[in-house]
Structure 1
Amino acid sequence: MPLVKPFKATRATSDKAAHLISRTYQDYDKKELKAQLKYNPYSFLQILNPGYKYNQEISGEERFNLVRNRFLEFKEEGYLTEDENSCFYIYENIDPHHTYTGIIASMSTEDYENNIIKKHEDTLHNKEVLFKDYLKTVGFNAEPVLLTYPDQSEIDDIINQIKTTEPTYDFSTTDHNRHKIWSVSDNAVISGLQAQFEQMPHLYIADGHHRSASSALLAEEMGAEKQSYNYFMSFLIPESQLNIYEFNRGIIDLNGLSKEEFLIKLDQYFRIQNRGMELYQPSKKHHFSMYLDGDFYSLYLRKDLITIETALDDLDSQMLYDLILKPILGIEDLRTDDRLIYSYGKHDMLKVKKKVDQGLFAVGFGMFPATVEQIKSIADADLRMPPKSTFVRPKLPSGLLIYEF
């Protein structure tokens, strides 16, 4: 049974919350990032980009130490304060298309290690160590791991009752998102929510495998010194609220094949239809979209030629690797081969088409998004998806709530 604990969040004062939180760092292009740093002194980006103050690009341990300094300065200036009581935090995000509501809490690294919190992706050890060192130096975590659980009406009822009260925060940001947070310190309510999670055998990581793995490394190194190192901040939402998008693939060359030779090799496993300039998007699993030499194609798997023995065998990103990327295009390592470029599905195949037309890719592939059921089946079987198999929303803003060690 998962251990779900309240914690004392460090967070922006109410008058600065809308100015302080930031989107995921990678969401900003260079011009927007520069504008934020120049014109918004309260932005959490000021903490994450400490070199801007000195007009320097700073990396490594030096950057980590300066991030820590900027964070302490924000606390000294009163932009950030720590709650007096441990709380669960009900967070609701309303964007132009979706509403997400869940619980921000701290989770046990022991549950992560014991597979009570289940994984579906592999992690890179050097990346784990780097982020572990970052957390150890800066002393806080500002981006929760996204966890999901089966929908529970009892949890929904508790959350809906909390939402009838005045929120701690209620503000909108310039990306057309509305943010609401309710701080829950009532022991009876906390115990009621914990009791519901205690009935669940497992939780599943939807997004944040490297963050959780790094937190586990940090606990192994520092957990004996301070209990807070043995937990990591998470956002728990029901499965029905997850939105899962695909990552498209672009390949720089055809591995020495002509267009005609490449299509003949694909014909072994797929029914191929040239759709010309008609933008084709797969409508179900085992259907693939391809853009090659000015034309869109639909690729339908010849199912009688494929044996599906595990949950991973049934995953489209794995099929693409097993049937096309590795045997035909010669791509062995999906993490390191620089001939393979990923583009998440929000940008759809039009972005891939543009890069093929520009000569940056030789061919592009699109897939039908994976489902929650596939993620869970793969995690339950202790298998791992290929990298960039899912792009999951919601993506929580940085600095909304901060977990200090």
Structure 2
Amino acid sequence: MPLIKPFRGLRPAPGRAGDVAAPPYDVLSTAEARVRANGKPWSFLHISKPEIDLPANTDPYAPEVYAKAASNLKAMLDQGILQRDDKDCYYAYRLTMGSHVQTGLVAAAAVADYDSNRIRKHELTRPDKEDDRVRQIEALGAQTGPVLLAYPNSHAADALIATASGGQPDADAIAADGIRHQIWVVRDTALIGQISRIFDAMPTLYIADGHHRSAAASRVAAARRGNAAAQHFLAVIFPHHEMKIMDYNRVVKDLNGMSETDFLARSSERFAIEPSASAVHPAQPGVFGLYLPGRWFTLTVKPELIPHADPVARLDVSLLSDNLLGPVLNITDLRRDKRIDFVGGIRGLRELEQRVDSGEMAAAFALHPTRMTELMAVADAGEIMPPKSTWFEPKLADGLVSHVLD
């Protein structure tokens, strides 16, 4: 089975992309989605977060929620808001955030290659979240949330995607957050064939975001073995060198019973600590910003503590956990410990200062962003990234291209 294939995409009708495009289902709470979709009857949030159209106390995992998603999708089809292409196509997808531009390919990726680890993972999944995505796919008869994938260096693939994204886009929308989303439909049979061959020659692809969506697609494929479309999952594949990972910072509620002076003294056993007159946004790996009420410090991990041969242990998120959060603050379970929280870099360092100065948190740590090459090394080693290691921006939109399982 080829690594990727074209498909008959379900897309907004001409001129409707701006009405339909919505943030990914998992970046908004139900309350935020209600506000975002207010006055926007064709927002894809009515499909991806259908509980917003039910009473406020509705369990988001209740059967009626998935049924509502299906009825909302039917309404958008009946009204001609969404239309399906009449032939198999690829789709070029460009994201523009300020000066950052990345252009990739929307395709149907083979579940068999996910199952065999040719499409490589780096995160654990939770059964309850997988169950939710399985129910959503089954209710809709479609995959609507794309998995974000990266491909390794390929000048040939880059050139083909550049060709596919020439001329006027078929869809062009600027989201509420200012991100521009553009789609080009690739209908040319020769170009489709070239793209398929170039990607099929790649040894591997890497999941950047969407582990629960891909795991759910695998379960649906196993249950629908006679359904050819179900043996693939919706993906957007970008060149790894164009993808942008932002810092994923940490805030902690207390100093484990220590004064600030004692905390700094304990931390200095493994880090060189220097006061900073301004906010610290680490410019290189191994360097961290520490914010205590009213003051910033630069923390540099001692070089002998960096295990260069271990792709997981050498990550900055691991160095902070293994040398400070665990031994100094006794925070050892990042998934369950209520004393720690995480702040995506898109919110800026001012968010860290506000959460500490308000008294909600005792300290904040600013990290250097994880690099794509580091993520790929972890996946190649068959290892798992620590929780909250990557924050990808810009985010894909839901609703611009969906994959129907017919």
Q: TM-score, normalised by structure 2?
A: 0.93
Deviation at 1:388, TM superposition (A): 0.7
Residue aligning to 1:87: 89
Residue aligning to 1:18: 18
State the AA in 1 paired with 2:219: L
Paired residue for 1:138, among 137, 140, 158?
Answer: 140
State the AA in 1 paired with 2:264: L
Q: How many residues align?
A: 403
Task: Report if aligned partners of 1:2, 1:200 keep a CA contact under 8 Å in 2.
Answer: no
Deviation at 1:166, TM superposition (A): 4.2
The 2-side partners of 1:182 and 1:366 are apart by: 38
The 2-side partners of 1:223 and 1:143 are apart by: 19
The 2-side partners of 1:262 and 1:174 are apart by: 42
Task: Report if aligned partners of 1:100, 1:394 keep a CA contact under 8 Å in 2.
Answer: no
Residue aligning to 1:234: 235
Structure 1 residues 164, 26: CA separation in 2 closer, same or farther (over 3 Å shift)?
A: closer
The 2-side partners of 1:286 and 1:331 are apart by: 20
The 2-side partners of 1:170 and 1:121 are apart by: 32
The 3-state SS of whatever aligns with 1:39 is coil
Q: Superposed, which structure 2 residues align to 1:326-365 within 5 Å?
A: 326-365=326-365
The 1-side partners of 2:14 and 2:253 are apart by: 49
The 1-side partners of 2:376 and 2:51 are apart by: 41
Residue aligning to 1:176: 178
Q: Superposed, which structure 2 residues align to 1:238-317 within 5 Å?
A: 238-275=239-276, 277-317=277-317
Structure 1 residues 302, 227: CA separation in 2 closer, same or farther (over 3 Å shift)?
A: same
The 2-side partners of 1:126 and 1:153 are apart by: 40
Structure 1 residues 214, 34: CA separation in 2 closer, same or farther (over 3 Å shift)?
A: closer
The 1-side partners of 2:136 and 2:53 are apart by: 20
Residue aligning to 1:115: 117
The 2-side partners of 1:29 and 1:212 are apart by: 21
Residue aligning to 1:373: 373
The 2-side partners of 1:132 and 1:71 are apart by: 17
Residue aligning to 1:318: 318
Deviation at 1:261, TM superposition (A): 2.0
Deviation at 1:90, TM superposition (A): 0.9
The 3-state SS of whatever aligns with 2:235 is strand
Greater alpha carbon shift after TM alignment, 327-336 vs 54-63: 54-63
The 3-state SS of whatever aligns with 2:206 is strand
The 3-state SS of whatever aligns with 1:386 is coil
Q: Superposed, which structure 2 residues align to 1:67-86 within 5 Å?
A: 67-86=69-88
Deviation at 1:352, TM superposition (A): 1.0
State the AA in 2 paired with 1:219: A
The CA deviation string for residues 160-217 of structure 1, in whole angstroms up to 9 with x for no partner, is 3333344322344454343322212332211111111122111111111221112112
State the AA in 2 paired with 1:342: F
The 2-side partners of 1:54 and 1:143 are apart by: 21
Deviation at 1:108, TM superposition (A): 1.0
Greater alpha carbon shift after TM alignment, 152-161 vs 104-113: 152-161
The 1-side partners of 2:299 and 2:396 are apart by: 35
Residue aligning to 1:387: 387
The 2-side partners of 1:346 and 1:50 are apart by: 26
Structure 1 residues 336, 2: CA separation in 2 closer, same or farther (over 3 Å shift)?
A: farther
Q: TM-score, normalised by structure 1?
A: 0.93
The 1-side partners of 2:332 and 2:372 are apart by: 27
The 2-side partners of 1:52 and 1:163 are apart by: 35
Deviation at 1:318, TM superposition (A): 0.8
Structure 1 residues 49, 199: CA separation in 2 closer, same or farther (over 3 Å shift)?
A: closer
Deviation at 1:46, TM superposition (A): 2.5
Unaligned runs of 5+ in 1: none
Cα RMSD between the aligned structures? 2.1
Deviation at 1:27, TM superposition (A): 5.3
Task: Report if aligned partners of 1:51, 1:57 keep a CA contact under 8 Å in 2.
Answer: no
The 2-side partners of 1:230 and 1:158 are apart by: 25
Task: Report if aligned partners of 2:30, 2:51 keep a CA contact under 8 Å in 1.
Answer: no
Greater alpha carbon shift after TM alignment, 366-375 vs 152-161: 152-161
State the AA in 2 paired with 1:145: V
State the AA in 2 paired with 1:234: A
Task: Report if aligned partners of 1:248, 1:348 keep a CA contact under 8 Å in 2.
Answer: no
State the AA in 2 paired with 1:123: T
Q: Superposed, which structure 2 residues align to 1:194-209 within 5 Å?
A: 194-209=196-211
Q: Superposed, which structure 2 residues align to 1:152-231 within 5 Å?
A: 152-220=154-222, 222-231=223-232
Task: Report if aligned partners of 1:2, 1:203 keep a CA contact under 8 Å in 2.
Answer: no
Structure 1 residues 111, 27: CA separation in 2 closer, same or farther (over 3 Å shift)?
A: closer
Q: Between the two proteins, what is the percent identity of the paired residues? A: 32
Residue aligning to 2:67: 65
The 2-side partners of 1:210 and 1:25 are apart by: 12
Task: Report if aligned partners of 1:129, 1:217 keep a CA contact under 8 Å in 2.
Answer: no
Residue aligning to 1:98: 100
The 3-state SS of whatever aligns with 2:215 is helix
